[in-house]
Amino acid sequence: EAGVAQSPRYKIIEKRQSVAFWCNPISGHATLYWYQQILGQGPKLLIQFQNNGVVDDSQLPKDRFSAERLKGVDSTLKIQPAKLEDSAVYLCASSPGTPRYEQYFGPGTRLTVT
C-alpha cells in the first residue's frame, strides 16, 4: 500500500513570496489533515478535510494560508505572502475516518523563509 505522498520535500523562499504544497493521501482515506510543525514542537493542526469538505480550520491563519481538496482526494496548501515565522515542516496526514483512528503521515515539506 502506497503511503501519503508530499511534494516538494524542501522549499526555500523569501518573505512575502508565495508557496504551495501538494499532498496525495492513501487511497480510500476520507479524512486529510495539514499540520505545521515548528522546530522543537509537536505538530499543530492547520486544517482537516472530510472528503472535500472542511471540518476544522480554526487554527489556519486565513489571511495568508489557504487549502483545498478537490474531488476529495489530493490537497494543496498555499501560503501567500509568507512570513519568517512560517518556517516549519508542513505535514500532511490521512486516516480512514476521524481522529478516532490512527493517522498516516507523509514525509513533510521543510519550508525555510528568508
Partner 1 sequence: SQQGEEDPQALSIQEGENATMNCSYKTSINNLQWYRQNSGRGLVHLILIRSNEREKHSGRLRVTLDTSKKSSSLLITASRAADTASYFCATDGITGANSKLTFGKGITLSVRP
Binding site for partner 1 (CB under 8 A): 4, 40-45, 48, 55-56, 91, 93, 98-108
For 72, phi then psi, to 5°, come to: 70, 20
- List b or e across 70-84, with b for residues whose CB sees 16 or more CB atoms inside 10 angstroms: eeeeebebebeebee
Neighbours of 13 (CB within 10 A): 17
Is 61 or 81 the residue whose CB approaches partner 1 more closely? 61
In three-state secondary structure terms, 71 is: helix
CB of 46 to partner 1, least distance (A): 11
Q: Are 39 and 88 in contact (CB under 8 A)?
A: yes
Is 43 or 75 the residue whose CB approaches partner 1 more closely? 43
CB of 99 to partner 1, least distance (A): 4
CB of 50 to partner 1, least distance (A): 8
CB of 41 to partner 1, least distance (A): 5
Is 19 or 23 the residue whose CB approaches partner 1 more closely? 23
